[in-house]
Amino acid sequence: MGITIKELAKLCNVSPGTVDRALNNRYGISGKTKERILKVAKEHHYRPDARAQSLVRGKTMTLGIVLFDLYNRSFAQMMNAIEKEARKDGYHVNLVLTDKSPEDEKKCIEQLISQKVDGIVLFSVNKGEGFADYLASLSTPIVTLSNYIADSLDFVGIRDRVAMKEAVDSAVQLGYEKIIYICPPLRFYKHSNIYTQTERYEGCLESLRAANLLEAHQLITDPDYLTALDPLSFEEKRTAIVCSCDYYALEILKRFKETNLIVGQDVGLVGFDNIDTLQYVEPALNTVSFDLEGMGSEAIRLLLNRIETDRAPIKKLLSHQLIRGASL
């Protein structure tokens, strides 16, 4: 067990209040006395009692982060930024993963609440007015990320529908006559919050309607989308495969290399997210870029502001950019 403030005070022949002022850089103590106390504290490996500090502050200085998983590199990039931004203000983060289960998500939220986190960043798979009411009943500041739930909650995202429309428009403008859209999460649209994925698919449909190509498109929601692609022919019509995230596009690119299909010539390929690992990929992938790290940082800034301020909910939409690679 480490040394306590009372023990430090006894060693330094001062009051516990003086030790507290030295350790927390408060006024009311001479520089010489402060230096001596800090020296003794270091020599005896003093560590502050987080539980005691939380009682004094009325905060635990912890934030809960609820994500699906970390398989998709975009989530890992956002998580790195979230932790870094929180640490700037002295907060620690407690990450829980739901594996896209609505039931497990609620259990994770309850666990964070029981640990008395000061606020939660939530990438939700739950949806609806009932769930929004449940979150409100927790009396804990919450910021939602990417998957919109309700106007009553802070939200950070991008204009997914507009961004995907621009991505599909770019393929149509290059003469592609058929679009195959890959999005396995869409099979859960009745049961889970897939707001981001739904918005992206709607953007794809808007582009195809405008180009009179709606009937020439194909939607694949099978989780084994690689096998679903195997029997398809790309010879009759010039075809582009549009993926709702870069992860799917990279898997398809790997499969096509194995089967000697040349991406950018035999078939087009488009991703979404512009994850950092794309810099190592050839041909360069056409994709949609937005600031993944900035999204995570913005979520934390909104949450910390929400913790300190009783204000109206804020909807923050970050900008995006179409990246023209060599895969179309």
**In one letter, which amino acid is 295?**
M
Considering the domain boundaries, does residue 305 fall inside one? yes
Cα–Cα distance for residue pair 252/230, rounded to 1 Å: 10
Q: What is the tally of structural domains in the chain?
A: 3
Please report the beta strands in the chain, taking only residues with DSSP state E, as ranges in sequence order.
Answer: 62-67, 92-97, 119-122, 142-145, 154-158, 178-182, 217-220, 239-243, 268-270, 287-290, 315-318, 320-323
Q: Beta-carbon neighbour count of residue 37 at 10 Å?
A: 23
Together in a domain, 186 and 228: yes
Q: Between β-strands 154-158 and 178-182, what pairing exists: parallel, antiparallel or unpaired?
A: unpaired
- Non-local (6+) Cβ contacts of 146 within 8 A are 123, 156, 157, 195, 196, 295
The SS3 assignment for 235 reads coil
pLDDT in tens, the chain (328 residues): 568 878 888 888 988 888 878 887 777 888 888 889 888 888 888 776 655 555 455 578 999 999 998 988 999 999 999 999 999 998 999 999 999 999 999 999 999 999 999 999 999 999 999 999 999 999 999 999 999 999 999 999 999 999 999 999 999 999 999 999 999 999 998 889 999 999 999 999 999 999 999 998 999 999 999 999 998 888 889 999 999 999 999 999 999 999 999 999 999 999 999 999 999 999 999 999 999 999 999 999 999 999 999 899 999 999 999 999 999 9
Together in a domain, 143 and 166: no
End-to-end CA distance of the chain: 63
Considering the domain boundaries, does residue 111 fall inside one? yes
Together in a domain, 25 and 143: no
Closest to 320 measured CA to CA, from 207, 203, 183: 203
- What residues does 239 pair with on adjacent strands? 178
Together in a domain, 107 and 140: yes
Cα–Cα distance for residue pair 165/176, rounded to 1 Å: 14
Whole-prediction pTM value? 0.83
Together in a domain, 313 and 278: no
* Structural domain for 131, as ranges: 61-157+292-317
Q: What tens digit of pLDDT does each residue of 158-199 get? A: 999 999 999 999 999 999 999 999 999 999 988 899 999 999
Both tokens of 93, joined, read 């983060």
Together in a domain, 267 and 306: no
Considering the domain boundaries, does residue 328 fall inside one? no
Considering the domain boundaries, does residue 322 fall inside one? no
Together in a domain, 142 and 173: no
Q: What tens digit of pLDDT does each residue of 234-257 get? A: 888 999 999 999 999 999 999 999
Together in a domain, 70 and 187: no
Together in a domain, 174 and 252: yes
The burial of 20, by beta-carbon neighbours within 10 Å (0-12 exposed, 13-18 middle, 19 or more buried), is given as: middle
- Three-point CA angle 317, 240, 224, nearest 5°: 85
Considering the domain boundaries, does residue 208 fall inside one? yes
Considering the domain boundaries, does residue 219 fall inside one? yes
Together in a domain, 264 and 184: yes
Together in a domain, 12 and 111: no
Considering the domain boundaries, does residue 324 fall inside one? no
Together in a domain, 300 and 153: yes
Considering the domain boundaries, does residue 134 fall inside one? yes
Cα–Cα distance for residue pair 135/66, rounded to 1 Å: 13
CATH code of the domain covering residue 307: 3.40.50.2300
